[in-house]
Amino acid sequence: MKYLITGGAGFIGGHLAESLIKDGHSVTVIDNLSTGSEKNLSAVADSPNFDFVKGDILNLPELEYLISKSDMVFHLAAAVGVELVVHNPVFTIETNVHGTERVLSGAKRKKTKVLIASTSEVYGKSQKELFSEDDDLLIGPPKHSRWSYASSKLLDEFLGIAYYRSMNMPVIIVRLFNTVGPRQTGQYGMVLPRFVSNALTDKNIEVYGDGAQTRCFCHVADTVRALKYLSANAKAFGEVFNIGGKDEISINALAEKVKDILRSSSKIVHIPYEEAYEKGFEDMRRRVPDTGKINALTGWRTELNLDKTIADVAESLGKQ
Ligand SMILES: NC(=O)c1ccc[n+]([C@@H]2O[C@H](COP(=O)([O-])OP(=O)(O)OC[C@H]3O[C@@H](n4cnc5c(N)ncnc54)[C@H](O)[C@@H]3O)[C@@H](O)[C@H]2O)c1
């Protein structure tokens, strides 16, 4: 099969490209290298089945042509990371909404399959125990820039489902919960690489807020398997799927775990949200996925636990 990955030089895209090439497929990546890096593609760069196009999906003239040559598009290119989003809300909304519009419109003529990467952020401030795909969503007000990411991704979801309903386009939406693993950068506010990197150098581990907020982390290799399972299943078209880890952990406990596993003497310190992000920053206390839907359709479940993930992140950061 021929795959196109937008944002394929990013953290998840690089792992997906590697895995698809390993399976014997052809992969073309389009990336403007804004948050991604060609280093994420070094394992496949020399493969005859791999092509890299440096370009911006917002204005790349050959986007439609590249889509038309592919059997499927994994649309991962987006403005990502809480810090980046809070400080660049216009850029976030334009990249995420207009980028998805261009990809879907480019896929129309040949009805090319498109998988759109959305996010658990769309559940917003919902207080449900487990987040399920058909839940109502509770997003905060537009004066808090952080919600521009969730809102733009939610509009992408609506657009994808609208293309499926009105044009019978094979579109799949995935809501990724915190995905972590080797090569993820802490530069844009991702919590695990920030913690591991500071633990490795015995610098302070900075927990934002009181640290009692909980998250579920999913190893990128498990996420990639989920993306591949869904892409191969026609029953996934027109549907939304959660993809995430099942073990819930508080950010305080995560900081302790990172310290223990890496035998670090870092101090754990707490930074108020206002200082870390913006005045009035709102965070979710919990965010736990119900992954029953993807499991029922494809049999997918996570295989790699958090200890293994932390060790993999540390090994990858140690090599840099
Ligand atoms: N990592 C997570 O925990 C997580 C959680 C929820 C959703 N997601 C979604 O998964 C996707 C991949 O995320 P990631 O963690 O790999 O982030 P990433 O920042 O590493 O990857 C995004 C890639 O898109 C590229 N890009 C951005 N704007 C572009 C544009 N206009 N044209 C071309 N390329 C562009 C970047 O250079 C980068 O390589 C994103 O859509 C993100 O919203 C990720």
Q: Domain ranges in the chain?
A: 2-178+219-244+289-302
Span 41-49, average pLDDT: 98
H-state helical runs in the chain: 11-22, 63-68, 82-87, 89-93, 99-107, 147-167, 191-200, 220-231, 251-261, 273-276, 292-298, 306-318
Span 21-37, average pLDDT: 97
User: Of 298, 219, 295, 244, which Cα lies nearest the Cα of 130?
Assistant: 244
For ligand 1, whether the C-beta of 99 sits within 6 Å is: yes
**Mean pLDDT score across all residues of the chain:** 94
Span 280-300, average pLDDT: 92
**Residue nearest atom 29 in ligand 1 by C-alpha distance:** 77
**Residue nearest atom 44 in ligand 1 by C-alpha distance:** 176
Residue 222 three-state SS: helix
Atom of ligand 1 nearest to the CA of 220: 1
Span 110-114, average pLDDT: 98
CA 214 to ligand 1 center in whole angstroms = 23
Span 238-265, average pLDDT: 95
Rounded-to-integer distance, Cα 131 and Cα 271, Å: 28
For ligand 1, whether the C-beta of 76 sits within 6 Å is: yes
Residue 92 has pLDDT above 80, yes or no: yes
Superfamily of domain 2-178+219-244+289-302: NAD(P)-binding Rossmann-like Domain (3.40.50.720)
Rounded-to-integer distance, Cα 144 and Cα 55, Å: 30
For ligand 1, whether the C-beta of 207 sits within 6 Å is: no
Please tell me the least confidently modeled range out of 17-31, 168-182, 276-290, 294-308.
Answer: 276-290
CA 97 to ligand 1 center in whole angstroms = 13
pLDDT digits (tens, 9 = 90+) for 167-219: 999 999 999 999 999 999 877 668 999 999 999 999 999 999 999 999 999 99
Quick one: pLDDT at residue 13?
Answer: 98
Residue 290 has pLDDT above 90, yes or no: yes
Model pTM score: 0.95
For ligand 1, whether the C-beta of 199 sits within 6 Å is: no
CA 80 to ligand 1 center in whole angstroms = 5
Quick one: pLDDT at residue 320?
Answer: 60
Q: Place 80 in a pLDDT band, splitting at 50, 70 and 90.
A: confident
